[in-house]
Structure 1
Amino acid sequence: MRQQGLRVLVVDDAQSQRVVLEVMLRQMGHTPLLAESGREAIELFREHVPDVVLVDVVMPEMDGFETVRILRSIARHWVPLVFVSGKVENQSIVQGLQCGADDYLVKPINYYILEVKLKALSQRIQMTNQLAVQNRRLADYKEKSEDESRLAQEFMRRLAAFDKICDPLVNFHLLPAEDFSGDLIAVARTPAGQLHVMLADSTGHGLTSALAVMPVLQPFQVMSLKGFSISAIAEEINRKVREYLPQNRFVATILLSLDTENRMIEVWNGGCPPPILLNPEGEVWCKFASTHLPLGILPAEQFDDVVERYCYGERPCQMVMSSDGAVDCADHTSLERGMESLLDSARGVAPDGRLGAMLTMLDSRLATLESRDDIALIFVDCPVNVRADLLPAQAAHPVMDGDGSAGCVTSEIEWQFALTLTAPQLKRLDVVPLLLNLVNQIEPENAGVAGKLFLVMSELFNNALDHGLLKLDSTLKHDSTGMERYYEQRISRLKQLEHGEIFIGLEKVCSGSGMNVRVTFRDSGDGFDHASLCEATQDVDERRHGRGIALVQSLSHSVEFLAGGAEVRVTLPLA
C-alpha cells in the first residue's frame, strides 16, 4: 500500500453519507473523491482512476447497479467496486454482486469493518499490481524469447543448409521433437567425386542439443571438399567436440563414404543404430554395427578411426541410416525390434518409395507417443552405372606421354616445394588434401583446377604407396570379394611398414604450353611394369584395376615414368 493510502471514490446522492464516509476515510489515511451521482462518478473515475469505489445502490437518474456496470466496462485494470447500501435484502445483495461488484456493505457503516475491508482490498490491489507487472515481464520475456528462437532457427537453418542438400543419390527426412533438432544431416562431395554423408545425433533434444551438434558441421564440409577420408574427418570432429562442448556432451555419428567408381562403401559408426545396406528387393545385405564410441568421449591418443568397408559389386543397392529417435519411435522396447519394424515397413517397396513407407509407419506411431526424440532418416542410392554428372570434369583435349619425351621442354619455375614422407608419417597422414590445400593457398585464382589436381595426386600417391612400398596386387580388385581382400591387405601391410619413403614434389612452371603444375611422386620401391600397363588401356572400362593411370593420362598434358616406374612426373595445365 502506498504511504498516502488509497484513493477512494465515494458515490452517494445523500450529502450526509458522503460527509461521514469522507471523515472516516481521512482518519484511516485514505484520500476520498466525492460524487453525488452516477454520471459524476463516471467522469471522476475517468479523470482520477481511483483505487476503490464505494457506491450507493439507490440514486436518482442512474442507480448503483447501472453505475457499477459502466465503471466495470471502462476500467483499464481491476478496480474494487463495493456497494454501500441500506437495502439488506438477499436479492439486492445478489443483484449487486452479479452486476460486477466485489463486495456489499450495509448501512450504517461500521468504522472498523470498513477499515478491515479496505485493508484487505489494499492487499488484493497490491498483489494484483505485482501480478500485472510479472505478467508484463513474462510477456516481454516471451516476445524476446520468440524473437531469439526465430533468429536461432534461421541461423541454424542457414548453417545446416538442408534446403541445399540436392545430391541425386541422397534422400532424407528430419523431424525435430521441438523447435530445434539435435539431429544433423550433411552431404558433401570430394574433389574426386566420392559422396560423403554424415548423420550426427547429440544427446537430448531442443536448443541445447542443436547447439551441441553444430561443431561437427564445418570440419565435415571443409575436409570433405578438400578430399580428406572419413577416418580423418572423424578424428578431427572428435577433437572439435572435446574442445568446444562440456564433458557430459557428446555426438553419436555415422560417417559414410560412397565410391561409385569402385562400388565401395566405407562407414565409421560411433554410437548410432547400424546403417543397413538393402539389396534391390529390400532385403538386408549388410549391417554396419557401431564399433566406436560417440565423438567427443575419447582423447585423441585413444581415438579409433578404423572404418568398415563393403564392396557391393554388380547390383545396385541402397543404404539406410537412422537416428535412435527413429528406431525408438518404430519400437521403443529394443534396438533390434525398432530396426526390424523400420525395415519391415520398407520390405517389398521400390527403392524410391521406401522412405515414404517408413515415414507413414512412423506417423502412425507418433500419434500414440507421449514424448519422443528427434527423428532422422537418410537413404543413399548406391548405383552400378555411374552417372556422367557425378564424375569429376576431365580435360577436353588431353595429351599423354608414356615414354617421357614430351615432358622435356624449356620452362621457367615460378614456385616449388618438396616433401619426403617416411613410414611413420605414411601410417597416419592424409597427405593429398594437405598438399591440395597448400596449392590452393598459393594459387587461389586457379582453384577451379583443384578437382583434377586432387585426382592426379591421389592416384599417384596411392600408386606409390600401394604398389611401390606395400607391393599390393591390383588384379585383386577384379571382383567384389577381391576388392575387400585388397583393402584388408593394405591395412595390414601399412601397419607393418617400417621402412620406405615417398618423395612428393610440386612446382608451377611456365612453358610453351602455358602455365602448368608439375607433380612428381617417387617411392623407394622397385617400380613396376608401367609400359605394359599403359598399352593395355583399350579394355580399361572392363576391369577394376589399372584405371588410375588412364585417368591421370586423360587429365594431364604429359605423364613420365622414370626409374623403372618408381618415379612418376605429371604436367597438369592450370587453365
Structure 2
Amino acid sequence: AAEFNQRLLNLLPDDMFCAALIIELSPGGERLTCWNGGIPDALVINSSGEVQHHIPSRHMALGILSTDDFDNQVEHLFVSHDHSVIAFTDGVVEMQLADKAMLGESGFTQMVSRAWQRDPEHAFERICQQLKQMMDANQQIHDDLSLVALDCKRTAPVDSKQLTEHNHLPFKLSVTIGQREMEKLDPMQHLVDSLGKMEALKSHKTTLYLLFAECFNNILDHNVLQLDSDMKEVLGFERYYVERQQRLRQNQDFAIQIDIHYTPVEERISFAISSNGECPFPVDRTGESVATNEQLFGRGLELVKNFADKVEWREQGRILFVDYDLSRPPA
C-alpha cells in the first residue's frame, strides 16, 4: 500500500486520489491480509450466504497522504475454504431501485446473501445479472461499478519433487529500530524482504511478516507508547492512529531490538523482541500474560500463537520470544 501511495502521490493531480482495497490470500486459503482505504466494507460470507466478517475502510485513499503520514498497517482475518470475499465500489450501492431509492449497503448485502443461499456456484453471475437489469431499467449510473468475488481456496501445493535442499549457514542477527527508521520506512517489511532473499525462507515470507509485524506493533504500542487495545473501541480507529502518531513524535529516544536466530539444520527461525520502554507486560511465573489478550493486544498475539510453535514472555515480561518451524508447509 505504501508503494502504491507514493507512486500515485507523484503521478496524480492534486484533485485526484485512488480508493483501494488490497487483499492477500495465504496459499493455504485460511488467512486474509487486508488494507482498505476508501472502499465500502467488503463482505466475507460463507456458502450459506451468512456474513462472517466485514473488511471496513480504516485508511485514507491512496495518493493523498505523504509517506510520513501514510498508515500502511494491515488487518488479518481467518477464513474457511467455503468463504468468499465480495468487494465492491460506491457505484454498486448507489444504484437506483425501481422506486428511485438507492440500493445501499444493506440492500446489496441482502442481495448477496440471497444469491449465495440459492446457488453458491452461480451466485456471482446472478448478482451481476441483477445489477445489469437495474442499470438497464434506470439507464443512469452515478459512479463507476466494480464488483469482485474471491473464493478462499487453497492454491495448488508445490510439487515435492521440485523441493531442493537449501544449504545455508546458520546466523544470528540483531536489529535496532528507533524513531528515524519508523519515519523513513516500514521496518518490518524491509526486514522480512531481506530475510526472504534466502531460498529456505522465501516461501514463508507471508507468515514471517505476520509474526514480526504483530509482535513489533504490540511491543511498540503497548510497551513503548503505552496504548491499550480498548482505546480503539473508545476513540475509534482513526483517532487511535492519530494518538499513536502523536506519541511516536513525543518518544524521541525509543529503541526496539530484535534478535533473530536461524538454524538451517533444525529448520527453525526464532526471534526475541524487546524495547527500552518502561512498561513491561504483567506475566506469571510460567511466562504467560496475566491480562487477557483483548486487554493488552487485541487479536495480535492470538494470530501469532496460531502460526508460531512457541510464544512466550521472558525476563518478567520485557522480552517476547517467538519460535517458528520452517519445515511446516507455508501457510
Q: What band does the TM-score fall into relative to the shorter chain?
A: 0.5 to 0.7
Residue 506 of structure 1: CA displacement? 2.4
Q: Please list the CA deviations of residues 267-298 of structure 1 after superposition, one character each: whole Å capped at 9, or x if unmatched.
A: 311xx7x557799999xx99869x856x45x5
Equivalent position to 1:503, from 232, 257, 267: 257
Task: Map residues 205-220 of structure 1 onto 2, 5 A cutoff.
Answer: none
Change (3 A) 1:257 1:471: farther
The answer as to whether partners of 2:305 and 2:311 remain within 8 angstroms in 1 is: yes
Code of the aligned partner of 2:317: G
1:341 matched to which residue of 2? 103
Residue 210 of structure 2 is aligned to residue 455 of structure 1: yes
1:434 aligns with 2:190: yes
Contact 1:255 1:267 in 2 (8 A): yes
For 2:211, give the aligned amino acid.
Answer: V
The CA distance in 1 between the partners of 2:310 and 2:42, in whole Å, is 44
After superposition, the C-alpha distances for 1:399-428 in whole angstroms (9 at most, x for unaligned) are xxxxxxxxxxxxx97334332111343356
> In the alignment, which residue of structure 2 is the partner of 1:268?
37
AA of the residue aligned to 1:529: P
| Maintained 8 Å contact 1:561/1:569 | yes
Query: Aligned residue for 1:351?
Result: 113
AA partner of residue 267 (structure 1):
N
Return closer, same or farther for 1:455/1:304 CA change in 2, 3 Å cut-off: closer
The residue number in structure 1 matching 2:200 is 445
In the alignment, structure 2 segments of 5+ residues that lack a partner are 78-82, 117-123, 156-167
Matches within 5 A, 1:56-205: none
Match of 1:65 in 2: none
Work out the CA distance in 1 between the residues paired with 2:56 and 2:308: 40
Give 1:464 shift. 1.5
C-alpha offsets along residues 52-101 of structure 1, whole Å, 9 cap, x if unaligned? xxxxxxxxxxxxxxxxxxxxxxxxxxxxxxxxxxxxxxxxxxxxxxxxxx
The one-letter amino acid of 1:255's match is L
How far apart in 2 are the matches of 1:351 and 1:248? 39
| Alpha-carbon distance, 1:556 to partner | 4.8
TM-score, normalised via structure 1 length: 0.38
Is this contact kept in 1: 2:171–2:261, CA < 8 A?
yes
Residues 536 and 248 (structure 1), Cα distance of their counterparts in 2 relative to 1, 3 Å cut: closer
Q: Do the aligned residues in 1 keep the contact of 2:96 with 2:138 (CA within 8 Å)?
A: no
CA distance in 1, matches of 2:14, 2:110: 42
When residues 553 and 236 of structure 1 are mapped into structure 2, their CA distance, relative to the original with a 3 A threshold, is: closer
Distance 1:415 1:360 in 2: 58
Corresponding position of 2:181: 425
Kept in 1, the 8 Å contact 2:281–2:289? The answer is no
Which residue, 244, 247, 252 being the options, matches 2:18?
Answer: 252
1:239 alignment partner AA:
Q
Conservation of the 8 A alpha-carbon contact between 2:312 and 2:321: yes
User: Structure 1, residues 478-504: CA drift from partner, whole Å, max 9, x if none?
Assistant: xx946x758854641442232311012
Q: Structure 1 residues 241, 564: closer, same or farther in 2, change over 3 A? A: same
Count of aligned residue pairs for this structure pair: 285
**How far apart are residue 351 of structure 1 and its match?**
1.2
The 2-side partners of 1:564 and 1:524 are apart by 14
Matched, 1:470 2:221: no
| Normalised TM-score (structure 2) | 0.59
Counterpart contact for 2:9–2:66, Cα < 8 Å: no
Tell me the secondary structure at the aligned position of residue 252 of structure 1.
coil
Closer/same/farther in 2, CA of residues 241 and 459 from structure 1, 3 Å limit: closer
Return closer, same or farther for 1:367/1:254 CA change in 2, 3 Å cut-off. same
Aligned equivalents of 2:142 and 2:298: distance in 1? 51
3-state SS of paired residue (2:103): helix
Any conservation in 1 of the 2:228–2:296 contact (CA below 8 Å)?
no
- Paired residues of 1:553 and 1:559 also in contact (CA < 8 A): yes
Look up the equivalent residue of 2:188 and give its one-letter code. V
Indicate conservation of the 8 Å contact 2:21/2:34, yes or no: no
Residues in 1 aligned to 2:31 and 2:85: alpha-carbon distance in whole angstroms:
16
SS at match of 2:204: helix
Alignment deviations for residues 142-164 of structure 1 (CA, whole Å, 9 cap, x no partner): xxxxxxxxxxxxxxxxxxxxxxx
Structure 1, unaligned stretches of length 5 or more?
A: 1-232, 382-386, 391-411
Corresponding residue to 1:529 among 282, 287, 292: 282
| Aligned 1:483-502 pairs, distance under 5 A | 488-489=239-240, 491-497=242-248, 498=251, 499-502=253-256
* CA radius of gyration, larger in: 1
Secondary structure at 2:226 match in 1 = coil
Change (3 A) 1:278 1:302: same
Q: Does 1:376 align with 2:131?
A: no
Alpha-carbon distance between aligned partners in 1 of 2:207 and 2:72, rounded to the nearest angstrom: 28
Q: Secondary structure at the match of 1:362?
A: helix
Task: Give, in whole Å, the separation in 2 of the partners of 1:292 and 1:486.
Answer: 12
Q: State how far apart, in whole Å, the 2-side matches of 1:358 and 1:318 are.
A: 15
| 2:222 and 2:296 in contact (8 A); partners too | no
1:465 CA drift (Å): 1.0
Distance 1:365 1:424 in 2: 52
Assess if the C-alpha contact under 8 Å between 2:85 and 2:149 holds in 1.
yes
For CA contacts below 8 A with separation 6 or more, give which structure has more relative contact order: 2
